[in-house]
Amino acid sequence: MQILSQILFIIALGIAAYFITRRVVLIKKTIQLGHAEDRTDRPAERLKTMLLIAFGQKKMFNRPLIGFMHFIIYAGFLIINIEVLEIILDGIFGTHRLFFPFLGGFYNFLINFFEVLAIGVLTVCVIFLLRRNVLKVQRFQESRHREMKTWPRNDANIILTIEILLMWAFLSMNAADTILQERGVGHYAEAITGNFAISQWLHPIFSNWSATALVAYERFAWWFHILGIMAFALYVTYSKHLHIFLAFPNTYFSNLKPKGQMANMPAVTKEVKIMLGIEQPDTTPAEVGRFGAKDVKDLSWKNLMDAYSCTECGRCTAACPANITGKKLSPRKIMMDTRDRLEDIQKGWLKNGEEYDDGKTLLGDYILEEEILACTTCNACVQECPVNISPLDIILELRRYKIMEESSAPASWNGMFSSLENNMAPWKFPPDDRFNWADGVK
């Protein structure tokens, strides 16, 4: 029976590893659809940013209570799963609490620490479920934000419920295990760890159970916990909770330039310099590519990584002045639409091959002109994002395409462009009069 259990475990581990690896490779390939962009400068500053923003949750602590709870659920869940290493090795080698003989008293300290974190994660998950479904925080509600339809709303509830069940499985498994130790049942008596900090309070639930029932439950909880971890690891690659892993590279490759500093288009910059006599025209000018972005292939790889790193928390949209005043623009929806476009491309690849073209584009089929024109480029969304995503970069690229490739801009914008070109100011008056307004300032 033990050998069969080991074989089944190794098969399950192999299946999970295969599908997770396949999914990771596909996501990496999709992100690489974006064009090149160098984000390797200032490595020390990038490392510091990653540690502060991704691991330290710095931006989350702008709201201290929520930040503290999020840190518990994020760091706690990651740290607790160090214990998964022992479970995996136990499953492969058919052992029970493999590390106990080697760690001795420190083993109990670790499990107690994990249990305290587990009850913290479980408690916070319950609170977050109540915030979403009972208190109904506005930025999570479809009635206020159309992007929060069935799947995004259910995705969060599914993840929170899974984490609650996994933490319960971990704690109840320990409770059943320690009771079996006390009773001296089978191999459980070989690792006398004693009671643990939190699971000991669950003993009354199991104290009247027979040894057979306790063994059955302990094995069920063990299998549920490890298979649940495997399923969770695969599920997050389809979920917004992919940010659990991508937050680290995404913050490392953050834009370190001052907010508000927009990236100029090299082709346009060169033309301006030629007009000003700073540069000479090329004898064999290179072919100018597309201005701006119409589809995801026109964006950079970092823009696409941003889309996969989005937590859908809605802090960007809650801070967006355009959204607050009733405009259709929602920075969160920009990121979700970009990821949806990438996922649709993946489905096309898997079904019809990599040369398949569905004829759709990000601008028009997913994101509307009305949305991108509403943006004031104030950078509020960039400032608020807890993992340093920039919806503004995507909005600007889509807007550049609309204006420079399709020559489609509101009439008032065209008037402003003309004034900027001729008068070096958005208004229709001579350059010499630009600062006349200051004469009346005392």
Q: What is the pLDDT along the chain (442 residues), one digit of tens a residue?
A: 788 889 999 999 999 999 999 999 999 999 999 999 999 999 999 999 999 999 888 998 988 988 899 888 887 877 777 788 889 999 999 888 888 888 888 999 999 999 999 999 999 999 999 998 898 888 888 767 888 888 888 898 999 999 999 999 999 999 999 999 999 998 888 888 889 999 999 999 999 999 999 999 999 999 999 999 999 999 999 998 899 899 999 999 999 998 888 888 877 787 778 877 788 877 766 666 778 899 999 999 999 999 999 999 999 999 999 999 999 999 999 999 999 999 999 999 989 888 888 889 999 999 999 999 999 999 999 999 999 999 999 999 999 999 988 888 888 888 888 888 787 778 777 777 777 778 877 6
- 3-state secondary structure at position 377: coil
pLDDT digits (tens, 9 = 90+) for 102-111: 888 899 999 9
Contacts of 56 (CB under 8 A, 6+ apart): none
Q: Scan for tokens 């923003």, then name that residue.
A: 53
Structure tokens at 376: 């004031």
pLDDT digits (tens, 9 = 90+) for 387-441: 999 999 999 999 999 998 888 888 888 888 888 878 777 877 777 777 777 887 7
Question: 266, 291, 294, 251: which is closest to 382 by C-alpha?
Answer: 251
Contacts of 50 (CB under 8 A, 6+ apart): 248, 251, 252
Query: Residue ranges per domain, the chain?
Result: 2-31+63-252, 266-428
266-428 placed in CATH 1.10.1060? yes
**Dihedral (CA of 179, 182, 183, 185) sign:** positive
